Amino acid sequence: MAKVAIVGATGKVGQYAALSISRIPYVNEVQLYGRPGSESVLDGVARDLIDSFAATGTDSHVSWSCNIEDLKGSDIIVLTAGVARKPDQSRLDLAVENAKIVADFSQKIGRIAPDSFLMMVTNPVDIMTHVALKYSGKKPNEVFGLGTHLDSMRLKSAIASFFQVHVSEVHTRIIGEHGDSMVPLWSATTIGGIQISNLPSFAQVPIDDIMQQVKSSGQKIIASKGATVWGPGEAIATLIRTILGNENRILTVSAYIKAEVHNIGDVCIGVPARINRSGVYPVPIRIEPLEVRNFQNSVEKIRGITREIFSVLENGE
Ligand SMILES: NC(=O)c1ccc[n+]([C@@H]2O[C@H](COP(=O)([O-])OP(=O)(O)OC[C@H]3O[C@@H](n4cnc5c(N)ncnc54)[C@H](O)[C@@H]3O)[C@@H](O)[C@H]2O)c1
Ligand SMILES: O=C(O)C[C@H](O)C(=O)O
């Protein structure tokens, strides 16, 4: 059984993640962490969560704290703390402000919970995952981010809807940045086990429209209801269940790569990774030449901004 802590638990994503995580059978403690001053909100979130357990039969202990030392003993810490973008902002606009928050928490988490996994949700998530890796002092397989797994879910829904098939019949993934330079892998997309380009109707798929829909999904939801919550909240729970259940599923997460994708590396970015109780392991893959070029561009973009952010953190602005 495991303790999962959420840092940023008073926020929109943190609160829904608490609910989705509490329903994972391997979790026996959900800890809600918030900044000093957020005691009353945390208490309310905990009580509301516990009320739901009677309906779902969930048997989990809920605790809350504003004392960072209480993260000790966590098996997984989910970091959702930080600012969220406004509809007219890019996720990258949040990089400097959130990097300072993430670096500070990661340093503390590295000391207080050296054996925990650290899952990054705060945006821009690929860069924040690298900040967390560096400042926590944890191993690369212990630090990962919710990146293009969410985009892959969105693409999967769009393809299922176009072909009018159940989502479980669609396998696809998006790699690269959780942002504009994301790369759909059509070469790794199947419907009912058939490679998508072998289906005659593939010629009618409005690929550009679908990718535009996937890329703008977060921004559209933020513009209309203020935040994306249920998509990311469920994705967070899937990743945690995969680790705690030692499931060895291959999911696309932001992880540190060295050379797994055509020798491109030294960056944290969305890649397929085998995930189990020992951590997150990027899978060596070979993809089509155009996909390699697009992935290389995405990596260069994220690696460049990550370096700038490291320099800001080290030298100040
Ligand atoms: N990776 C993804 O797929 C994904 C999905 C959704 C949201 N996000 C990101 O998650 C983050 C949270 O989103 P949200 O909608 O829950 O936002 P929110 O504003 O509702 O919550 C933010 C949380 O961070 C805390 N926080 C803010 N500034 C802080 C600081 N300086 N120090 C400590 N804690 C601080 C707040 O107290 C709150 O708990 C954002 O960066 C957002 O972009 C990422
Ligand atoms: O779009 C955002 O800012 C939130 C998140 O990254 C998402 O894709 O839902």
pLDDT at position 293: 98
The CB of 270 under 6 Å from ligand 2? The reply is no
Residue of 149, 120, 146 lying closest to 134 (CA atoms):
120
Q: What percent of the chain has pLDDT over 70?
A: 100
The residues with which 184 forms a beta bridge, in sequence order, are 174
Residue 207: what pLDDT? 97
- State the pLDDT confidence band at 40, using cuts at 50, 70 and 90: very high
Q: What is the per-residue pLDDT for 177?
A: 98
Nearest CA owner, ligand 2 atom 7: 218
Which one of the ligands is nearest to 102 CA?
1
Question: Does the pLDDT of residue 251 top 90, yes or no?
Answer: yes
Average pLDDT in the 299-317 region?
95
> How high is the pLDDT of residue 317?
66
Active-site residue set: 178
Distance CA 265, CA 272 (A): 14
Question: What pLDDT digit, counting tens, does each position of 127-156 carry?
Answer: 999 999 999 999 999 999 999 999 999 999
User: pLDDT of 167-215, one tens digit each?
Assistant: 999 999 999 999 999 999 999 999 999 999 999 999 999 999 999 999 9
Atom of ligand 1 at shortest range from CA of 229: 6
Q: Which residues pair with 269 in a beta bridge?
A: 255
Ligand 1 in contact with 101 (CB < 6 A)? yes
Task: Domain ranges for the chain, please list them.
Answer: 2-145, 149-307
At 261 the pLDDT is 95
Residue type, 187: S
Average pLDDT, the chain: 97
Model confidence at 307, pLDDT cuts 50, 70, 90, reads very high
Q: Is 98 in the pocket of ligand 2 (CB under 6 A)?
A: no
Q: How many CA atoms lie within 13 A of 207 on its CB side?
A: 10
pLDDT over threshold 80, residue 308: yes
Residue 46 known to bind ligand: no
- For range 215-243, the mean pLDDT: 98
| pLDDT level of residue 316 (50, 70, 90 thresholds) | confident
pLDDT at residue number 182: 98
Taking the CA of 123 as reference, the closest ligand is 1
Q: Which residues contact 75 (CB under 8 A, 6 or more apart)?
A: 2, 3, 4, 115, 116, 117, 244
**Nearest residue CA, atom 6 of ligand 2?**
218
Binding residue per annotation — 121? Answer: yes
Closest ligand 2 atom to residue 232 Cα is 9
Tell me the CATH number for domain 149-307.
3.90.110.10
228 annotated to a ligand binding site = no
What letters, b where the CB count within 10 A reaches 16 and e where it falls short, cover 212-242?
eebbebbbebbeeeeebbebbbebbbbbbbb
Q: Is 85 annotated as a binding residue?
A: yes
**For residue 295, is pLDDT > 90?**
yes
Ligand 2 mean position, distance from CA 192 (Å): 29
E strands, 52-95, in order:
61-65, 76-79
In the CATH hierarchy, which top-level class contains the domain 2-145? alpha beta
Q: What is the pLDDT of residues 69-128, one digit of tens each?
A: 999 999 999 999 999 999 999 999 999 999 999 999 999 999 999 999 999 999 999 999
